[in-house]
Amino acid sequence: MNDATQPIRVDTKTADGHVIAGADCALSNDKGRFTLKSGQTVQVHRSSRDLEVSCVLPGQRDAAGRSISRANIGIWGNILIGGAIGAIVDHSKGTGYTYPSWIQLVFGQTLSFDRHREDRGQPLQGDNAQGRAVAAADSSGGNSPGGAVTLPLAGDVAPPALASAAAPVGNTAATVAPAGPAMSTESAMTRAQGISNGLNCGAVQARSATRFTASCTGGSTVQIDCAGFRCSASFP
């Protein structure tokens, strides 16, 4: 997956779950600013940076959110087959990253959206400041999941910070800022295992509440550190 843009739909609803279309929405990252009406879809330029989203409607408090950028499978393919140059290009252009494709903002709230929770064909409910998913309401017309999801899936891995094309891939550590509240050890381990699986490594072992290691083919060991909603892998 390396298209420069991806379609994103934005919905807006009230705190009691009533969906309202037609709010003026803006999405922005380091690649540009994109506007649409809620209930519509817009093409957004991919980026390794998170996507800031806001919607305004007369008579309603502003709705805001942060859509987290995640590395897609293409960038990891470049890394795993030794294509560090290609991975760096995907990282700098943003083509190696993907946002959630359909999000629902809530008037009067600021939410975080992570595609680890995404269910294909369903709008993604955001997390509030306490890290709890906003539950879908019956008034959404059956287009939303029936309840809040509290743990992310582990099908994807966090993006690496690729500092230099000359640096060996094995020594490249992904460093990311915490995004949201600290995870429990159990959910951190779930994410760490997802990264280990993506690198064709074995079962992770907890070294602390946020640090894990796993043995990989060839005798190497991957170290996985988790903070907030993100985990990063390195080969010490």
Instruction: State whether residue 90 is helix, strand or coil.
Output: helix
Tokens coding 66? 């942060």
Mean pLDDT of 159-179: 41
**Cα–Cα dist 155/185, whole Å:** 18
For residue range 2-12, list pLDDT tens digits in order: 588 999 999 99
Alpha-carbon gap, residue 195 to 12, rounded angstroms: 33
User: Does 14 score more than 60 pLDDT?
Assistant: yes
pLDDT (0 to 100) of residue 26: 97
pTM to 2 decimal places? 0.52
Query: Could you give the CA distance from residue 52 to residue 68 in angstroms, rounded to a whole number?
Result: 9
- Residue 219: the pLDDT is 80
Q: What mean pLDDT comes out for the span 148-161?
A: 38
Least confident of 45-54, 56-65, 200-209: 200-209
Q: Which residue type, as a one-letter code, is found at position 67?
A: S
Per-residue pLDDT for 206 more than 70?
A: yes
**Confidence tier at 120 by pLDDT (50, 70, 90):** confident
Pick from 102-106, 138-142, 175-179, 202-206 the range whose average pLDDT is largest.
102-106
Q: Is the pLDDT of residue 149 over 90?
A: no
Higher pLDDT, 231 or 25: 25
pLDDT score for 56: 98
CA distance 188 to 41: 33
- CA distances to 8, 29, 53, 64, 120 from 43, in Å: 6, 13, 14, 19, 18
